[in-house]
Amino acid sequence: MVHPIPLTPRWIILYTTILLSAISLWFMRDDQGGFSSLNSLSNPFSSNQCPSSCRSDPFSQRGILTYPSVERYNETRWIPLPPFSSDNKVKLSNIDYTGNLPPELEAGLAEQLTARLNQQEENQLADTVEWEWLKGRLVVFLDDRNNVEQLCGEIHGKSESWGGHVGGFCHVERIDLTLVWWFSYGLVDDESLDLWRKLEARPITFENRIKEVFLPAMKSDGIDRTPDLMVVSSLFWDEGFIRDYPQLYPPTPPLPPDHRNRPGFLPDQIQWHQSRLAALFTYLREIYNQPDLPLMFRTRHIRANMNYGGGLKIAQIDQGAREVCEAMGVKLFRWGDLLEGVSDYYDKDQHFPLGPNTYLFGE
Is pLDDT larger for residue 328 or for residue 25? Answer: 328
Mean pLDDT of 122-128: 58
Mean pLDDT of 150-176: 93
Contact 280, 232 (CB under 8 A): yes
Q: Tell me, what's the pLDDT at 127?
A: 59
Q: Tell me, what's the pLDDT at 250?
A: 93
Mean pLDDT of 116-141: 80
Q: Tell me, what's the pLDDT at 8?
A: 52
pLDDT of 15 above 50? no
- Please name the residue ranges forming H helices in the chain: 9-30, 37-41, 103-106, 113-119, 145-154, 206-209, 215-220, 236-248, 267-287, 310-328, 335-338, 356-362
The pTM of this model reads 0.80
pLDDT of 123 above 70? no
pLDDT of 34 above 50? no
Helices (runs of H) and strands (runs of E) counted in the chain: 12, 9
Most distant pair of Cα atoms in the chain: their distance: 90
Is pLDDT larger for residue 20 or for residue 131? Answer: 131
Q: Tell me, what's the pLDDT at 2?
A: 44
For residue range 264-286, what is the model confidence (pLDDT) as tens digits?
Answer: 999 999 999 999 999 999 999 99
Q: What residue type is assigned to position 355 of the chain?
A: G
Q: Tell me, what's the pLDDT at 22?
A: 45
Segment (H or E) for 198:
none
Residue 152 confidence class, pLDDT cut points 50, 70, 90: very high
Residue 23 confidence class, pLDDT cut points 50, 70, 90: very low
Q: What residue type is assigned to position 18 of the chain?
A: I
Q: Tell me, what's the pLDDT at 99?
A: 81
Percentage above 90 pLDDT, the chain: 48
pLDDT of 294 above 90? yes
Domain boundaries, the chain: 131-362
Q: Tell me, what's the pLDDT at 57?
A: 85
For residue range 320-356, what is the model confidence (pLDDT) as tens digits?
Answer: 999 999 999 999 999 888 888 777 765 566 667 778 8
The sheet carrying 177-182 orders its strands as 158-163, 167-172, 177-182, 138-142, 229-232, 295-298, 331-333
Whether domain 131-362 has CATH 3.40.50.1110: the reply is yes
